[in-house]
Amino acid sequence: MCGIVGYAGGRPAVPILLRALKDLEYRGYDSAGIAVLDGDRLAITKKQGKIANLEAALGPAPAGTVGIGHTRWATHGRPSDRNAHPHSSCDGRVVVIHNGIVENYAALRDELQARGHTFHSETDTETVAHLLEAEMAAGADLFEALARTARRLEGSQALVAMSLDEPGTLVAARLGNAGGIVIGFGDGETVVASDLAAVLPLTQEVAFLADGQVARVTPAGAEAKTVTGEPVALQRKRIPIDPVTALKGQYPHFMLKEIHEQPEAIADTIWSLATLDPPALYFDDLGPAADRLADIERVVLIGMGTSLHAAMVGQRYIEAFAGIPADADNASEFRYRDPVLDDRTLVISVSQSGETVDVLEAMAVARQAGALQVTVCNTAGAQTTRVADGTVYTRAGLERGVASTKCFTTAVVALYLLALRIAQAKGRLSDRELALHLHDLAQLPRAVSEVLRQRDLVRKRAVSLAAAQHVLFLGRGLAFPVAMEGALKLKEVSYIHAEGYAAGEMKHGPIALIEPSFPTVAIATRHALRTKMISNIEQIQARGGPVTGVVTEGDAELTALCDAVLTVPAVSSWLEPVAAVIPLQLLAYDVAVHRGCDVDQPRNLAKTVTVE
C-alpha cells in the first residue's frame, strides 16, 4: 500500500526522501512523487512506475531541507503521473500525501468545486489538499487546518502535508487503520513516515500516532493533539535495529535472504519466550492478558494470508495442548459476520506488520464484544500491539520481501509457545512435558538449516514446475495449512495458478483437474497422516498426474512412489509444518526466478494491506 515519508531538518531533503522511498518500495507501488521546499515555491515531481523514473525526472534536485515523498498503490484513479502524489491545492501552496480512502470524497469534491476549487486528478486524496487550503484561508494554521480537515473525512487515512505559508513545518494525521504514522526524532531533524523502515536509517528514537491524532513536525521535534483539540503527550521509544537485516547482503533478493534467515529468526523467537535450563516460558509483553488465560474457555485466531495460515497451525496447537476449542478465521470474514464472543474468549490476532486493516477491524469487533485479546506480531509498537491486551513478539527482524517467509515460521513457533503457555495456565502442562517440548523446539533451527542445504535439488524441481499453468498443493492435519501456504507463495511470486487443498477434499472435486500436465505437490512427512497421503498420491498418479512429495528423510516407500521428492529431516510431529514449508518457499522462489518474475515486488501486491 502507499508509502509515506516527510523530512524536516538541516540537510537537503531530496536524497533523504529518495532513500526513504526506496526503503518503502517493499510495500508495493505503481508511482512515486516528491514535493520539496524550493525558495518561494513547492517543487513537485511525480512519475508513474519505479522510483528510478522519479529520479530521472528530478534532474538537479532543489536544495530545500523540508519535503515529503510518496509511493502510491492506486485505489481511486488509475496509475499515472497525474494521479501520483503529492497533490496540491488550487494555489499550489499546500501539498499532501495520503494512504487510505476518503470514502466521502465525491461529496467533498462536489462541495469544493461548488466553492470554486479546481481539481487536477482523479484521486480522492486531492480533496484533502483543497480542504486544507480552505481551512487556512479561513484563518487556521496548518496544524489546526489538518485537525479540522480530519474531522470531515470518512474512512481510514494516514496523511502528511506541508504548506508554503509555514515553511519549516510538516503535519501528519492518523485516522483509523490505514497504516501507521511514525515520527522519528534525530539531531536537529525529524522524519515522519508510514512505517519504521523509512525512519530507522535516520534515527531509532520514535513515537507513533494513535487513531484520531494529528502532529506538527519541525526540525526541533513534534507535538500532537487529537483531531478535536485535546493535547497528546507523544510516547517516545527506542527501537533496536539490526542493520544487517535491512540489506540484501550476498543474496539477489530479499525473499531468498529472508528464507535463509529462518534458523536464526526461529531461534531468536524461541529463546525470547522460553529457556531450556530451567525449562520455563517467559511472556514479558502479555500484560493484563497473562492473569486471565486460566479463565479462557475458547480461542479464536484471526489473520490474513500467510498469517492466517500460521493461525491455522496455532489453532491445532491450542486444541491439542490446552484442550479448549479453537478456531482460525479469516479476519475480513470474521468482522462481517456476527461472531459469538465473550470475556471468556481469547482472540489471537496474527499479523507480521500489525497494521493490516482487516485484522484491526476484526480486533475492534472483538473488543466491543469484551473478548480478551493477544496479538502475535513482528513489528514493535504496531497498531495491533496497542489494541490488544497483550503481545507475543516474533523476532524475525525486518521482513522486506512481499512474500512473507520468516514471519510465517516465527509466528508458528510463537503460537506453539503461546499454546503451551495457555496449557500451563489451565494446569494441563507438567514441567516434564514443557521440558520435552522445549527440547524439540531446540532442535528446530538446525533442522531448518539442513533443509536449506537442499537448495540445488529444489532448483532442479523448480525448472520442471516453472512450465506448469496450475499446481495443486495437498496436505492433511498440520500439513493442510502448509499446503495453503505453499500454494500462496507460488501464486504470489511466480503468477502460476496454485491451490492448497485438504487432501481429503481432493476426491470431492479437484481430482477432476488431474491430468499429465497438472502437477501436484503433496506434503507427506512422517506425521502428516502419511498413510492417507499415500492413498491420495496413488489416486493422482492413477490419473496420470505427476506428484512431487515433501517427505521425511529416509522414507524409502514415498521416495519410490513419488515422481520426485524434496526431503526434510525428522522433527517432532508438532514442528513438521515449520520444516515442511521451507522447501515450498524455496520452490516458489526458484520457479519465480526461472520465470523472470520480480520476486521482491510481485505485481499488484502490497506488503502491508491497509485498505479493505
Binding site for ligand AGP (CB under 6 A): 304-307, 351-353, 356, 359, 402-404, 492, 608-609
SS (H, E, C) 108-165: HHHHHHHCCCCCCCCCCCHHHHHHHHHHHHCCCCHHHHHHHHHHHCCCCEEEEEEECC
90 is catalytic: no
What distance in Å separates the CA atoms of residue 415 and residue 504, rounded to the nearest whole number?
25
**Phi/psi of residue 90, nearest 5 degrees:** -55, -45
Neighbours of 598 (CB within 10 A): 12
In angstroms, give the least distance from the CB of 544 to ligand AGP: 32
In the bound state with ligand AGP, the residue whose beta carbon lies nearer, of 404 and 601, is: 404
Give the HSE-up count for residue 335: Cα atoms under 13 Å, Cβ half-sphere.
17
- Smallest separation, CB 304 to ligand AGP (Å): 4
Answer positive or negative: Cα dihedral of 319, 325, 330, 332: negative
- What is the closest distance, in whole angstroms, from the C-beta atom of residue 607 to ligand AGP in the complex? 7
Closer Cβ to ligand AGP, 322 or 376, answer by number: 376
Helix axes 406-425, 262-273, angle to 10 degrees: 20
Least Å distance, CB 408 to ligand AGP, is 8
The answer to whether the bond into 219 is cis (omega within 30° of 0) is: no
Closer to ligand AGP by Cβ: residue 404 or 567: 404
| Chain CA centroid to CA 316, Å | 23
Instruction: Decide whether 514 or 592 has the Cβ nearer to ligand AGP.
Output: 592
Tell me the residue nearest to ligand AGP as measured from the CB: 305
Distance (Å, whole) CA 71 – CA 87: 13
Nearer to ligand AGP, 180 or 546 (CB): 180
All three cell numbers of 327, joined, read: 478456531
CA distances from 491 to 68, 150, 549, 602 (A): 34, 38, 19, 10
Q: How far is the CB of 423 from ligand AGP (least distance, A)?
A: 25
DSSP assignment letter at 239? P
Task: Say what angle helices 479-494 and 576-594 make with each other, to 10 degrees.
Answer: 20
Which of 2, 407, 562, 597 is an active site residue? 2
Nearer residue to ligand AGP within complex by CB, 268 or 492: 492
CB of 478 to ligand AGP, least distance (A): 19
Q: Is 532 exposed, middle or buried (0-12, 13-18, 19+ CB in 10 A)?
A: middle
CB of 12 to ligand AGP, least distance (A): 33
Take residue 146 and report the three cell numbers written for it: 489538518
Q: Minimum distance from CB of 377 to ligand AGP (Å)? A: 8
Q: Which is nearer to ligand AGP, 48 or 409 (CB)?
A: 409
Q: Cβ(572)–Cβ(520) under 8 Å?
A: no
Handedness of CA 26, 28, 34, 35 (dihedral sign): negative
* Residue 324 and residue 331 in contact, taking contact as beta carbons nearer than 8 Å: no
What are 151's three cell numbers? Answer: 474531522
**Cell triple for 86:** 503529492
Q: Please, where are the H alpha helices in 495-575?
A: 530-542, 556-561
- Written as one letter, the residue type at 533 is M
Question: By C-beta, is 307 or 525 nearer to ligand AGP?
Answer: 307
C-alpha cell recorded at residue 551: 517427505
CB of 200 to ligand AGP, least distance (A): 18
DSSP E strands, 457-513: 470-475, 497-502
Of 48 and 269, CB closest to ligand AGP: 269
- Active-site residue among 47, 257, 491, 607? 607
| Smaller CB separation from ligand AGP, 126 or 485 | 485
- Relative to beta strand 205-208, strand 221-226 is unpaired
Task: Choose between 27 and 117: whose C-beta lies nearer to ligand AGP.
Answer: 27
Element (H, E) at 352: none
Min separation Cβ 310 and ligand AGP, Å:
8
Q: Under a CB-based contact definition with an 8 Å cutoff, are residues 13 and 174 in contact?
A: no
- Rounded CA separation 376/393 (Å): 6
DSSP track, 493-506: HH--EEEEEEGGGG
* Half-sphere exposure of residue 95: CA atoms within 13 angstroms, side-chain side: 28
- What's the closest the beta carbon of residue 137 comes to ligand AGP, in angstroms? 40
Phi, psi of 302 (to 5 degrees): -130, 150
Catalytic positions: 2, 607
